[in-house]
């Protein structure tokens, strides 16, 4: 709680949001673009990514895992340890399916923070790591700290990630921003 008050007084750029994430959100809003990762690439480039993913998914199960990475490296005459291969896969929160693959490329190519970094920024204000913060607390931070949001910008955030029961689910918000709506993930 003392850290939160210090962050407010210092005017630290929202403290809980990486600057690049704030800028990304504002740019997306300005473009009236979608949070869907597919909107970041032209269709022809997405097709190239699908082909690359298909070549890397050696066992054709729809996911790139340690066995796929091992086979690729072996084909290249390399023999990395399972530890090294697992470290590579840690860049992806969860299983590495095509959508996650595309998201990783989007982050690397467009210079955004990783999903983990974005989530950890929120966790600084959630000492119990419950994944939720008070709606009023988040609104107060957005209005009064760092690059202060306008009421309309806050309404836009709430439109995309509606608080429930007075709580802002930052876990869901991070997933929405970084992966798009979850119903699209199932496709």
Walk along the chain (187 residues) in steps of 10 and give the mean pLDDT of each run.
Answer: 45 48 53 57 84 92 94 85 90 88 78 77 88 92 85 88 92 82 51
pLDDT digit string (tens) for 147-170? Answer: 888 999 899 888 888 999 999 999
| Predicted pLDDT of residue 133 | 93
Q: What does the alpha-carbon distance between residue 97 and residue 187 come to, in Å, rounded to a whole number?
A: 11
Could you tell me the CA-to-CA distances from 114 to 26, 150, 172 in Å, in that order? Answer: 17, 26, 15
* Contact criterion met (CB below 8 Å) for 132 and 138: no
Of residues 112, 131, 110, 111, the one with CA closest to residue 120? 131
| Predicted pLDDT of residue 166 | 94
| Predicted pLDDT of residue 175 | 83
pTM, to two decimals: 0.44
| Predicted pLDDT of residue 134 | 93
| Predicted pLDDT of residue 91 | 82
| Predicted pLDDT of residue 65 | 95
Between strands 132-134 and 167-169, the pairing is: antiparallel
Q: Is 35 helix (H, G, I), strand (E, B) or coil?
A: coil
| Predicted pLDDT of residue 14 | 44
| Predicted pLDDT of residue 146 | 76
């Amino acid at each position: 709680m003392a850290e939160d008050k210090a962050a407010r007084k210092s005017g630290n750029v929202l403290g809980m949001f990486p600057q690049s994430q704030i800028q990304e959100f504002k740019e997306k809003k300005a473009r009236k673009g979608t949070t869907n990762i597919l909107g970041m690439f032209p269709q022809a480039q997405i097709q190239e990514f699908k082909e690359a993913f298909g070549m890397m998914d050696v066992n054709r199960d729809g996911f790139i895992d340690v066995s796929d990475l091992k086979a690729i490296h072996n084909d290249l005459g390399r023999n990395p340890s399972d530890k090294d291969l697992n470290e590579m896969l840690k860049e992806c929160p969860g299983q590495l399916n095509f959508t996650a693959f595309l998201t990783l490329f989007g982050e690397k190519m467009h210079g955004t923070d990783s999903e983990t970094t974005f989530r950890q920024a929120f966790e600084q204000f959630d000492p119990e790591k419950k994944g939720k913060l008070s709606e009023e607390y988040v609104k107060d931070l957005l209005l009064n700290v760092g690059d202060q949001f306008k009421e309309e910008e806050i309404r836009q955030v709430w439109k995309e990630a509606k608080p429930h029961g007075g709580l802002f689910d930052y876990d869901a918000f991070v997933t929405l921003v970084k992966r798009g709506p979850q119903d699209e993930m199932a496709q």
